Structure formats: C-alpha cells, structure tokens
Structure 1
Amino acid sequence: MTKPGLDAAELGAYFALMDVSSLLQHAIEQQLRSAGELTNVQFKILMRLLEASDGQLRMTDLADSLVVSRSGLTYQAGLLEKAGLITRTPSPDDERSTTLGLTAAGRERIAAVLPGHVDVVRQLLLDPLTRDDLGALADLLTRVRDHMRAAPPRSAAQRARKRADS
C-alpha cells in the first residue's frame, strides 16, 4: 500500500526537478527560436536524425524515442519538411511507415544553433555542478528514466518488430 501524499523530502525533490526542468526548457526554447527559428521538439527531431547512422529514422521509432504523439510528430515533421530541413519518404521496410531524412539544410541549421544550445545547457545546468555531481545526477536520472520507460505511455513504448526468420 502506498502512503498518501508526499513528505517534505519528496516534495522538495519533486519541486526542484520541476523548477529546473521548466527553467531549462524555457531558456532552451528562447535560444533555439532566436538562433534558428526552431522549437525544442524540432531541434530534438533534427538531432536524432543527425545521430542516426544514415541520417534517417522511421517516424514511429522517432515518436517513441522522443515521447511525442504520432500526430504531433507528423505536424512538426511537416513544418521541418516545408522549411527544407528534412525529407519524408515511404519506408523501404514497410510501405505503411514513413522515414524522415536529414537534409543538408537541416545539418546547417543544427550547426548554427548548437553552439548557443551548448552554452545555455552549460551555463544553466552543468556549470554549478562538480564532476562527481554530474556522475551522480546522470546515475539518478538514468535510473528514474529507465523506471519510467519500463511502463511507458504508448508514445514512448518500443514496438516489437516482426522478424522474418528464414
């Protein structure tokens, strides 16, 4: 049985996390909009495509990893495609799926916004911490993230892929 409410330590940790998340999110949004006319979600889409081995990802896989709805991702992908930063093509594996690909203009936009993005993250999140703090924070947040992803919402759930056993 879970106990009702949160004690002072639990509330303190929860509110500190929410405040840090909100303040960092706001600063990142401002920087991305001013440096590259991007939202944080659009930046995350472009970065995931940049990190992909061939610069391409299936939209369903991308939605799952970013924890966004498929309709929200479709809308954002449409805006990015209209801006010439990505392409959308039918997936070669499954004609029902769509693959997003990063364009040269998308790579240029990332290159334009990334230095300022790193500065914001460094100044607001990383500079106040020691190396030991960083390791502890990464360990704690990884544990919480893994716990949350163990029973994710549909948009964060990994889909079982059908394998062709030949």
Structure 2
Amino acid sequence: MTDGLDPQQLSSYFAFMESASLLQHHVEQQLRTAGDISYVQFQVLARLGDARDGLSMTELADGVVYSRSGLTYQAGQLEKAGLITRGPSPDDDRATLVTLTDAGRALLARVFPGHIETVRGTLLAPLSADDLRTLGDIMSRVRDHMRAQPPRSAAPRKRR
C-alpha cells in the first residue's frame, strides 16, 4: 500500500477539483440558458466546428473524454435536434462520420459569447497574465501526461 497524499498535495487536489466543479456548474448553467444544451453537447459541437470535414465518432469520444455509449446517445440527441449529421465515413467503412449542420453552427454562434463571458468572469478574472501562463503550462503538462495513456476508445468493451 502506498502512502497517502501530503497536506500540500491534498490541498491542491481539493482546490483543483472544487474549482473545476464550480467552473463546470457555471458553464453548464450558461449553456442551458443560452442554447438548451449540456456541456458535453457543447464540446461535441465546438470540436465539430473546428473540423472542416467532420470527425469520426471515435475521434469525438476521445476528444471529449466520454464513453462510446454516452456519446452515441448525445449524438442522437444532437442529430434529432438537427445540429449534426451522422453517416458512413468515405475513408473507413467501419467508422461513422459526424458533421456540424448550419443549425449547429448557428447555435454555436449564439452560445459562444456568453460562454466566453462565463469563462472570463469565473476562471480568468482572478488571474494575472503570469498566472495564466503558469496555469496553462501546468495544465498542459497534466493533460499531456493523462493523454499519454491509451484513449478510452481503445479500451475493450465490458461484457455483460
């Protein structure tokens, strides 16, 4: 058995988790109010907005760090709302290609200003330029360390 976290590690961990939860809560509220979408749905739409030719469901699942089944459900909801389309990939017969519709682009354009305002007011307001660079450096290292593990989509599916 390994030792527990020291007081500084524990304090940093709890401060990070609480901050992340509070930020996500504020962002979720803004997205629900402005566009009646969840944060996961926003992530899907935003990633597709940056992908000119669409993305495969696997790429989306890895990018938004969401389960395959959960993403399939979310994609179904977004497709039903006319915000995305899903179809066979021209490059891989086994893949499903997801693309953003004009309605999806319009929704992103509607929610982005409030989203940016929420992020600025909630996360960025108390930070100096130096703080922001430090935070970016630290979180990029943490993300890259975590992303060095095999993507969730590569994990075998659990059998029931």
Q: TM bucket by the smaller chain?
A: over 0.9
The answer as to 2:45 corresponding to 1:50 is no
User: Secondary structure, in 3 states, of the residue corresponding to 1:68?
Assistant: coil
Tell me how large the CA RMSD over aligned residues is.
Answer: 1.5
Aligned residue in 2 for 1:83: 81
Letter of the 1:145 partner, please give it.
R
Question: Quick check: 2:62–2:151 contact (8 Å CA) kept in 1?
Answer: no
Equivalent residues in 2 for 1:12-161, closer than 5 Å = 12-54=11-53, 56-152=54-150, 154-155=152-153
Post-superposition Cα deviations, 1:9-45, rounded to whole Å, max 9, x if no partner, equal 0001000000000000001111100100000000000
1:108 & 1:150 partners in 2: Cα distance? 35
2:90 & 2:71 partners in 1: Cα distance? 20
Deviation at 1:154, TM superposition (A): 2.1
Letter of the 2:102 partner, please give it.
A
CA 1:79–1:115: 2 relative to 1, 3 Å: same
Letter of the 1:113 partner, please give it.
V
The TM-score with structure 1 as length reference comes to 0.89
2:149 & 2:20 partners in 1: Cα distance? 22
**Identity across matched positions, percent:** 62
Post-superposition Cα deviations, 1:100-154, rounded to whole Å, max 9, x if no partner, equal 0100000000011111100110001001000100000000001011111112452
1:120 & 1:61 partners in 2: Cα distance? 27
1:111 & 1:65 partners in 2: Cα distance? 21
2:150 & 2:70 partners in 1: Cα distance? 17
The TM-score with structure 2 as length reference comes to 0.93
May I ask how many residue pairs the two structures share in their alignment? 155
Post-superposition Cα deviations, 1:49-77, rounded to whole Å, max 9, x if no partner, equal 001133x1111111111111111111000
2:96 & 2:32 partners in 1: Cα distance? 27
Deviation at 1:88, TM superposition (A): 0.5
